[in-house]
Amino acid sequence: MAGERVLHIIGSPRGLRSRSTRVSRRLLARLGVSAEELDLHATDLPALDAAAIEGRYALVEGREVDPIVCDRWRRVRDTIEHFLSFDTVLFSVPMWNFGVPWRLKQYIDIITQPDLMFNVDGNGVTGLAGGRRAILVCSGALDIRPEEPGEEMDFQTSYMKAWLGFIGITDVRIVQVRPTYGTPARVEEAMDIAFQEVDALAESLLRAPRV
């Protein structure tokens, strides 16, 4: 991964106490890369309100729009360009009410724009973020990871994978940190397993040449 640009998107607001972030940081340490961190709960993201959404159609049609709306869309485009400027994107993703935290969902809503992150034509949808790698570190109190009992309640890992596929990212590595609720011994065991998994992932990423 030498020379790759890596973005670490932090979906948990819990700072140093965040288990998903701790596991992600261990991965980055093992990889020996310094990633840029995007702490979504500490970032002022542009709002997609009624004015912004209507303004987008006005901009596309060349109609006059309020300078505030122009500024909003400039910030959306900047956010997309920033995301696309990385080779690997590492997401620290806690499960919140079976899905992803609202700040991460807001970020996804901002960057998933037609013509900028995906194209639609007669042949279907083409994601414009292809060629990149994503790593998901998914945490949750309950162990309802894919292929475990309760997986039908997972709208976190399955959603992230589906969305990444939609924007063209199919090289997706996943590490689960769960259960994070239970006896201290059980939670520490889950952390240990996750640390071992990211160590193994780091080794395989360092060995494998990019195709």
Binding mask 98-137 for ligand FMN (x = CB under 6 A): x---------------------------------------
Other CB atoms closer than 10 Å to residue 30's CB: what's the count? 17
Residue 129 CA to residue 169 CA, distance in Å, equals: 6
Question: Which of 122, 137, 130 lies closest to 166 in space, CA to CA?
Answer: 130
Q: What residue type is assigned to position 71 of the chain? A: D
Residue 171 and residue 136 in contact, taking contact as beta carbons nearer than 8 Å? no
85, 97, 158, 170: residue in contact with ligand FMN (rule CB under 6 A): 97
Window of 52-60, 83-91, 93-101, 126-134 that interacts with ligand FMN by CB under 6 A: 93-101
141, 162, 193, 200: residue in contact with ligand FMN (rule CB under 6 A): 141
48, 96, 119, 172: residue in contact with ligand FMN (rule CB under 6 A): 96
95 is in an annotated binding site: yes
Binding mask 36-55 for ligand FMN (x = CB under 6 A): --------------------
Of 31 and 95, which CB lies nearer to ligand FMN in the complex structure?
95
Instruction: Tell me the H-state helices in 90-134.
Output: 102-111
12 is in an annotated binding site: yes
Q: How close are the terminal C-alpha atoms of the chain, in Å? A: 12
4, 5, 14, 46: residue in contact with ligand FMN (rule CB under 6 A): 14
Residue 187 CA to residue 180 CA, distance in Å, equals: 5
163 is in an annotated binding site: no
3-state secondary structure of 135: strand
To the nearest 10°, report the CA torsion of 136, 130, 84, 198. Answer: 20
Annotated binding site for FMN: 12, 18-20, 95-98
Interface residues with ligand FMN (CB under 6 A) are 12, 14, 18-21, 94-98, 139-142, 180
